[in-house]
Every structure is written in structure tokens, then in C-alpha cells.
Amino acid sequence: MEVLAALLAQQGLQLAVVPQAVDIPHSYWGAPEAGLLGTTVFARADTPVHSLLHEACHVLCMDESRRAQLDQDAGGDFAEEDAVLYLQVLLADAVPGCGRERMCADMDAWGYTFRLGSAARWFAEDAAEACAWLQQRQLA
């Protein structure tokens, strides 16, 4: 969790680690999935890395006014959701033992769906618009 807390801190976010026996506050999906409140991401030791990074990337992709209102549901449109997915794959490289390959496999296992059938193929072959979205906002 320390590596993830440091990664989030580099991005201007905070990680609030929740004790194992406690429900994760502000979680859209419920435990063990991560929760959001403003610029704080809530997680437990059993929170999947893909969930923690996904929720953090939602915060990174929204403007300050949305962050100020953020409680549990990140909202956003389809273009932003694609950008979130792309950014979470990029940030996975900064997490020892994770990386892009594992992130994509975890995303597939969780149930994300992509036109090309997998997160890895989408990232490699079909994510130009998501990458451009992030570049326009100087996030990638």
C-alpha cells in the first residue's frame, strides 16, 4: 500500500487505508472495490490494484469543480471513461508486481469489455482517442 500511496501522492491524491474488517467508505461497487471522496481514494488490503488505480484515474481526469463535488460516483462521459482506462494501464507500470500486462488481465477478469475482446488489444490497437484525450489535458 505504501507504493500506491506514494504514486497517488505524486499525482496530488491521498490514499486512505481502511482496516480489513471495515466497509470501504464512498465505494460505488462496495467492498473490496475502492471508494472516492474528493481527492481521497479509500481502499483496504484486499482492494484490487485495478480498482484503486481506476478510481484514482477518474479523479485525475476530472476538473477541480467536479472533484470538489465528488462522493462515490465519478460520473463522466464515454470519452473520459476510456481515458481513465488508458491512464490506469499506464500507471500500472509504476506499481511493482503489476505492470501493463497484469493490469489488462485483471481488467478482463473483472469484466471490463472492449470492442477487440481484451484490454490488452484495446490498449495496443484501439485506444488512440483515449490517448489523445489525455494528451490534450496534459495527463499522458
pLDDT, tens digit, 9 for 90 and up, residues 106-139: 999 998 888 899 999 999 999 999 999 999 999 9
pLDDT in tens, 66-107: 999 999 999 999 999 999 999 999 999 999 999 999 999 999
- For every residue of 88-110, DSSP letters joined together read HHHHHTTSTT-HHHHHHHHHHHH
Beta strands in the chain (DSSP E): 14-17, 35-37, 40-43
Contact indicator for 85, 119 with CB cutoff of 8 Å: yes
pLDDT, averaged across the chain = 96
Q: What is the pTM of this model?
A: 0.95
Residue 15 pLDDT greater than 90, yes or no: yes
pLDDT in tens, 1-12: 999 999 999 999
The predicted pLDDT at position 114 comes to: 87
Report the DSSP beta bridge partners of residue 43: 17
**Domain spans in the chain, listed from the N-terminal domain onward:** 2-69, 78-136
Half-sphere exposure for 52 (CA within 13 Å, toward CB): 28
Local confidence band at 39 (pLDDT 50, 70, 90 cut-offs) = very high
Mean pLDDT of 11-21: 96
